[in-house]
Amino acid sequence: MSLDWIYYAISWILLAWHSAWDAIGVADGAVIGTNWAWILAIVFLVVTVRVILFPIFVKQIKSQRAMQALQPQVKALQEKHKGDRETLQKEMMELYRKEKANPLMGCLPMFLQIPVFLGLFHVLRRLDPANGGKTLYGWTVDQFESASQAKLFTAPIAGKFGSTAEELARLGANGTTVKVIAGILVLVMMGTTYLTSRQMILKTGWAEDPQQRMIQRLMLYGIPLSLLVSGAIFPIGVIIYWVTNNLFTLGQQQWVLRKFPPPANVSTTKPGTSPRGPVQPAKSGGLLGRGKPAAQVPAKPAAPKVAAPKPGAKPVNPKKGRPAKRKG
């Protein structure tokens, strides 16, 4: 199946935003070693895609709420079919079908963004001055040459951590500078990817379903770690897209999760673990779940103990009403 339609769509959005920034006076030349018109074009490519996908993102949150509402029934099925994994999976699939809940809905927005990512990756990888097909996907020769010379702090947006010496020479780039800029962006990409997954889990809780829990762990740890290796082949422009997308996601999730708060009984601790200490306030709010703890009810002061009198000492407060001794 040809992906040309994706490459044309990505190119059209990218070039439209570049023309818009150029029209309002953002200089196409380098300022602080950066061609801001092209950097902003990539940033607003993210904004365009996320606005289009926003209704699906809201559906994702609602689907996760539906899955949480089914957790008591899922736990009951796990207890009923303990040790019979095949029957358990069949029963849970039947439960999801009956209640119209889709376990895969939580990953749908990410899957829909994969073609956009691949399209941008392909388009930016072509920004080589030696490339003969400069007018492919609706580009003009001037636009192609301008983009191939675009830089972020003197590192070309078409360069990558693993660029060869020949590629760097054609782009007119310094290898050390490209590695430093690309390396920093890869670390930021890993960190923001981790934070987006962590934010969602802290707000929605760990799933009781083993399959869902495995997906949560994969998104929390697996994907960020994989970027340490795959990031070396991403052009700097693609990493800018990824980091911007993560930052947009963090803000969007915070807004949507406030509008559609999780149930009060959602647990933010991993299944099989217990909170630290006798009383652990639930995490709420904040990117890292560091909200204000619930107010503690002050304990009632214990009644003061009255010390017994020392042997041989006169009582301080003799009992009243005792008859006086008669004198012999």
At 125-175, the pLDDT tens digits run 999 888 888 999 999 999 999 999 999 999 999 999 999 999 999 999 999
Cα distance between residue 325 and residue 323, in whole Å: 6
Say yes or no to pLDDT of 179 above 90: yes
Q: What is the pTM of this model?
A: 0.74
Q: How many CB atoms lie within 10 A of CB 198?
A: 17
Amino acid at 278: P
pLDDT at 37 (0 to 100) = 95
The residue that leads in pLDDT, 255 or 39, is 39
Say yes or no to pLDDT of 293 above 50: no
pLDDT at 93 (0 to 100) = 86
pLDDT at 184 (0 to 100) = 96
pLDDT at 66 (0 to 100) = 77
The whole-number average pLDDT for the span 34-50 is: 95
The whole-number average pLDDT for the span 185-190 is: 96
Give helix 4-23 / helix 108-125 axis angle, nearest 10°. Answer: 80
The whole-number average pLDDT for the span 181-195 is: 95
Cα distance between residue 153 and residue 156, in whole Å: 8
pLDDT at 111 (0 to 100) = 83
Tell me which of 6-15, 220-229, 237-246 is least confident: 220-229
The residue that leads in pLDDT, 243 or 70, is 243
- Cα R_g (the chain), whole angstroms: 31
Total residue length of the chain: 328
Say yes or no to pLDDT of 9 above 90: yes
Q: Where are the domains of the chain?
A: 3-259
Say yes or no to pLDDT of 72 above 70: yes
Q: Which pairs from 109-115 meet CB under 8 Å and 24+ separation?
A: 109/53, 109/56, 109/57, 109/60, 112/53, 112/56, 113/49, 113/53, 113/245, 115/3, 115/6
Say yes or no to pLDDT of 318 above 60: no
* Sign for the pseudo-dihedral over CA of 19, 22, 26, 32: positive
* CB of 232 closer than 8 Å to CB of 161: yes
With H, G, I as helix, E, B as strand and everything else as coil, classify residue 155: strand
Q: How confident is the model at residue 294 (pLDDT cuts 50, 70, 90)?
A: very low
In the chain, the percentage of residues whose pLDDT exceeds 70 is 77
Amino acid at 8: Y
* CB of 77 closer than 8 Å to CB of 91: yes
Among residues 316, 219, 256, the alpha carbon closest in space to that of 65 is found at 256
Q: How confident is the model at residue 283 (pLDDT cuts 50, 70, 90)?
A: very low
Helix (H) or strand (E) holding 78: helix 71-80
Cα distance between residue 286 and residue 292, in whole Å: 9
Q: Which two tokens stand for residue 106?
A: 């939580």
